[in-house]
């Protein structure tokens, strides 16, 4: 591993490319560019390097890194569509980014999700480990080899073991008419750093918070050019410059924040923040789209051991830790695997198709994920009882919100320490009405799963929300959806690609170059113009692979 570098020494280096954000996308780009020994890459990451923390690395401890030092701990403004509630918005503040906070889920959206904005390099980033015939038979771990990569830096693997509910999941969904997809990677629905950390041309500075991008006029005074960044480390402010490009990979919350702090954005937002406008780019921070979800909690068979048991029993947790460390097996090796993507299950489907989808297209709109444990932030477990949780997640929201820097205060202009104003506009406007209708109907679809064989053999009473009449298809879930919907932690779109309409419709072009600024690109989930029917981690990796390829192509021209 490379020797840590000081902030002052970092600034003395001559960088061809500066990458703001050492997260999922940033480290991919850094690794690919630095494969060329003639290219020197600098990466600035606000959080620490934490390579060995079990909170991040042990699969069965998913979720424990939330609301820790690895989390920026953002939150939304009050949401009228959620009866005035604010929601936490976790974002990663660590080398590896939000990938260090997530559930290690690796899946892809439908082919149609990507057709409008180009095909990502999925296979290039992946090294798929095929499950054994025994694993395939026991856990129905199906795959089609031709749709998987073999030589990429990210190892993807089916969980070595699956929880008890997963053993019944496929058969139960089949019994209610949801077919098993035997080729779900086909387009139907820190790994990049450590192996390369010894490269002399790849320099990473952690715990360095970027304040703004340095933009200067060209010699003719006609064009803004990104020349470097200003950052803070150890309480001191520094400026580091680049010979070619600044690559902004700070994520869907902080990439638009840094553009606005640098004077690129909507004039009304920039000026209200007390910052000099440099580029009138009205879509910076707009087009925010986010998966949203609800959590219904059920009592389950008391013999089933889950993460709640480990949190309550230190000796049980110690035994599970030993099993994982010695053989990478047991409950610490298990991830939530009981999930399915289904079409929106509402009676007014034709109306929704007319508003949201092309007639005749088969758009999976709801993700249902069930596993052991109480995952609801609103339901308090009763001692002595065991629980399982069904997460029901809206995949293609019509609702669009925004993320912007706040107005200036009495202390002066807005800065990086002022948290951005996150307003997803959940269930707002006409599109929000459709989203709400689908989410209410989704609860009616998901709830009867638990009285369907064979899953019903381990499921008892629904604990949250309390059933007025258990498994009643006409039960009204409207209040539940309004009062308990939360974020699914998948924001995209705030620096979206503009397509043929250019800056009037987006923030970056098809090569991810920021409109109105030379030498500045955005490479992260914020560039996605439309959401996908999938957890976005694998897609972000492939966006970065494609971006690195384009950067190298442009360099050769």
Q: Write the pLDDT tens digit of every residue in 218-249.
A: 988 889 999 999 999 999 999 999 999 999 99
Q: Give the residue among 266, 277, 257, 270 at the shortest CA–CA distance from 215.
A: 277
Long-range contacts of 273-279 (CB under 8 A, 24+ apart): 273/405, 273/406, 273/407, 273/408, 273/413, 273/414, 274/407, 274/408, 274/412, 274/413, 274/414, 275/405, 275/413, 275/414, 278/215, 278/224, 279/224, 279/514, 279/515, 279/516, 279/517
- Model confidence at 361, pLDDT cuts 50, 70, 90, reads very low
Burial (0-12, 13-18, 19+ Cβ within 10 Å), 211: middle
Q: What is the pLDDT of residues 452-470, one digit of tens each?
A: 999 999 999 999 998 764 4
Question: Is 413 flagged in the annotation as binding?
Answer: no
Task: Check residue 356 and give its pLDDT.
Answer: 41
In this predicted structure, the answer to whether residue 432 has a pLDDT above a threshold of 80 is: yes
Task: Check residue 24 and give its pLDDT.
Answer: 86
> For helices 537-556 and 24-33, what crossing angle results, to 10°?
30
> For helices 429-446 and 349-356, what crossing angle results, to 10°?
140
Could you please state the CATH topology (level 3) that the domain comprising 133-145+162-188+292-394+444-484 is classified under.
Answer: Glucose Oxidase; domain 3 (3.30.560)
Task: Check residue 351 and give its pLDDT.
Answer: 40
Share of the chain above pLDDT 70, in %: 80
H-type alpha helices, 290-364: 307-312, 314-327, 349-356
In this predicted structure, the answer to whether residue 193 has a pLDDT above a threshold of 90 is: no
- Model confidence at 115, pLDDT cuts 50, 70, 90, reads low
Per DSSP, the three-state class of 89 is strand
- Model confidence at 349, pLDDT cuts 50, 70, 90, reads very low
- Model confidence at 339, pLDDT cuts 50, 70, 90, reads low
Domain boundaries, the chain: 133-145+162-188+292-394+444-484
In this predicted structure, the answer to whether residue 393 has a pLDDT above a threshold of 60 is: yes
In this predicted structure, the answer to whether residue 369 has a pLDDT above a threshold of 60 is: yes
- The mean predicted confidence, pLDDT, of the chain is 84
Q: How confident is the model over 26-55, as a mean pLDDT?
A: 92
- Residue 111's alpha-carbon distances to 132, 269, 395, 539, in angstroms, are 27, 36, 14, 12
For the ranges 201-205, 241-245, 303-307, which has the lowest average pLDDT? 303-307
Question: Is 489 flagged in the annotation as binding?
Answer: yes
The total number of residues written for the chain in this structure: 557
- Residue 54's alpha-carbon distances to 57, 64, 423, 472, 499, in angstroms, are 5, 9, 33, 42, 42
Question: Is 434 flagged in the annotation as binding?
Answer: no
Question: Is 136 flagged in the annotation as binding?
Answer: no
Note whether 355 and 344 are within 8 A (CB): no
Between 189 and 181, whose confidence is greater?
181
Q: What is the pLDDT of residues 486-518, one digit of tens each?
A: 998 899 999 999 988 999 999 999 999 999 999
Tell me the β-bridge partners of 339.
369
Catalytic residue among 166, 184, 404, 535: 535
Active site residue 490: yes
Question: Is 94 flagged in the annotation as binding?
Answer: yes
Active site residue 535: yes
Per DSSP, the three-state class of 253 is helix
Between 156 and 489, whose confidence is greater?
489
Task: Check residue 537 and give its pLDDT.
Answer: 83
């Amino acid at each position: 591993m490379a020797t840590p570098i000081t902030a002052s020494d970092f600034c003395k280096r001559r960088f061809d490319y500066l990458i703001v954000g050492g997260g999922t996308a940033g480290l991919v780009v850094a690794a690919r560019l630095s494969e060329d020994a003639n290219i020197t890459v600098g990466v600035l990451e606000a959080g620490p390097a934490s390579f060995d923390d079990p909170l991040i690395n042990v699969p069965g401890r998913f979720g424990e890194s939330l609301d820790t030092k690895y989390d920026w701990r953002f939150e939304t403004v009050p949401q009228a569509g959620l009866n005035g509630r604010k929601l936490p918005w976790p974002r990663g503040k660590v080398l590896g980014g939000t990938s260090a906070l997530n559930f290690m889920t690796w899946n892809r959206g439908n082919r149609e999700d990507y057709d409008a904005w180009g095909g990502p390099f999925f296979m290039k980033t992946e090294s798929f480990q095929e499950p054994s015939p025994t694993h395939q038979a026991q856990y129905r771990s199906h795959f089609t080899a031709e749709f998987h990569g073999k030589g990429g830096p990210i190892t993807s693997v089916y969980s070595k073991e699956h929880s008890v509910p997963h053993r019944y999941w496929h058969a139960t969904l089949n019994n209610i008419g949801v077919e098993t997809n035997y080729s779900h990677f086909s387009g139907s629905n820190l790994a990049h750093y450590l192996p390369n950390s010894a490269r002399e041309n790849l320099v990473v500075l952690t715990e360095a918070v970027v304040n703004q991008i340095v933009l200067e006029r060209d010699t003719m005074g006609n064009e803004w050019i990104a020349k470097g960044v200003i950052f803070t480390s150890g309480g001191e402010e520094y400026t580091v410059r680049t010979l070619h490009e600044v690559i902004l990979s700070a994520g869907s919350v902080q990439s638009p924040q840094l553009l606005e702090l640098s004077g690129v954005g909507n004039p009304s937002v920039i000026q209200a923040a007390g910052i000099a406008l440099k580029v009138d780019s009205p879509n910076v921070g707009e087009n925010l789209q986010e998966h949203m979800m609800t959590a219904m909690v059920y009592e389950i068979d008391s013999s089933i051991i889950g993460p709640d048991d480990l949190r309550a029993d230190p000796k049980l947790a110690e035994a599970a830790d030993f099993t994982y460390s010695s053989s990478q097996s047991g409950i610490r090796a298990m991830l939530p695997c009981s999930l399915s993507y289904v079409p929106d299950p509402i009676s007014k489907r034709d109306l929704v198709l007319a508003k949201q989808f092309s007639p005749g297209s088969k758009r999976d709109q709801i993700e249902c994920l069930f596993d052991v444990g109480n995952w609801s932030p609103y339901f308090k477990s009763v001692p002595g009882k065991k629980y399982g949780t069904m997460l029901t997640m809206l995949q293609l929201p019509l609702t669009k919100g925004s993320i912007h820097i706040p107005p200036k205060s009495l202390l002066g202009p807005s800065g990086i320490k002022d948290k951005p104003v996150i307003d997803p506009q959940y269930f707002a406007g006409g599109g929000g009405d459709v989203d709400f209708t689908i989410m209410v109907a989704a609860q009616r679809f998901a709830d009867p799963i638990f009285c369907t064989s064979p899953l019903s053999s381990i499921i008892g009473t629904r604990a949250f929300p309390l059933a007025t009449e258990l498994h009643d298809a006409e039960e009204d879930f409207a209040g539940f959806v309004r009062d308990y919907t939360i974020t699914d932690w998948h924001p995209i779109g705030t620096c979206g690609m503009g397509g043929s309409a250019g800056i009037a419709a987006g923030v970056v072009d098809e090569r991810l170059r920021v409109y109105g600024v030379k030498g500045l690109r955005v490479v992260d989930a914020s560039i996605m113009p439309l959401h996908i029917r999938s957890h976005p981690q694998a897609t972000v990796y492939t966006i970065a692979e494609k971006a690195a390829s384009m950067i190298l192509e442009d360099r050769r021209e």
